[in-house]
Amino acid sequence: MTESIALHTRLKPGTEEAYAHAHANIPPELVEALKGAGVRNWRIWRSGLDLFHVVDVEDYQAMRHALADHPANIPWQARMAELLEVQDDYSGNDSGIQKVWELP
């Protein structure tokens, strides 16, 4: 079973182009790590500096724990830390944005 998790992050002012460039050039080893950790899809939308993510994953907390120290994820997270206002610690203890409603 796959769960969908919504996330919200925020860019540092002036990093919009660098963020778009980074995501246009995702390292293949990171893609493999994400897939290996159970990610089926990860979509990101941007409105101004706000980023909204929807992650379809087998087990969100397990994915976060699996990627926390993964050698493909460590440099990626370091790069994102340069671009995002707040970078999480990849603890896996969060559960994303609370879902309020879904079309029945």
Spell out the per-residue pLDDT of the chain, length 104, in tens: 899 999 999 999 999 999 999 999 999 999 999 999 999 999 999 999 999 999 999 999 999 999 999 999 999 999 999 999 986 666 667 889 999 999 99
Identify whether 97 is part of a domain. Answer: no
What CATH code is carried by the domain that includes residue 22? 3.30.70.1090
Identify whether 103 is part of a domain. Answer: no
Identify whether 23 is part of a domain. Answer: yes
The CA dihedral of 40, 98, 74, 19, to the nearest 10 degrees, is: 90
The parent domain of residue 74 ranges over 3-83
**What are the C-alpha distances in Å from 39 to residues 16, 17, 59, 85?**
25, 25, 8, 24
**Are the C-beta atoms of residues 40 and 54 closer than 8 Å to each other?**
no
Identify whether 88 is part of a domain. Answer: no
Domain count, the chain: 1
Answering whether pTM is above 0.75, one says yes
32-61 per-position pLDDT tens digit: 999 999 999 999 999 999 999 999 999 999
**What are the C-alpha distances in Å from 83 to residues 34, 40, 104?**
20, 25, 37
Spatial distance between the Cα atoms of 21 and 64, rounded to a whole number of angstroms: 24
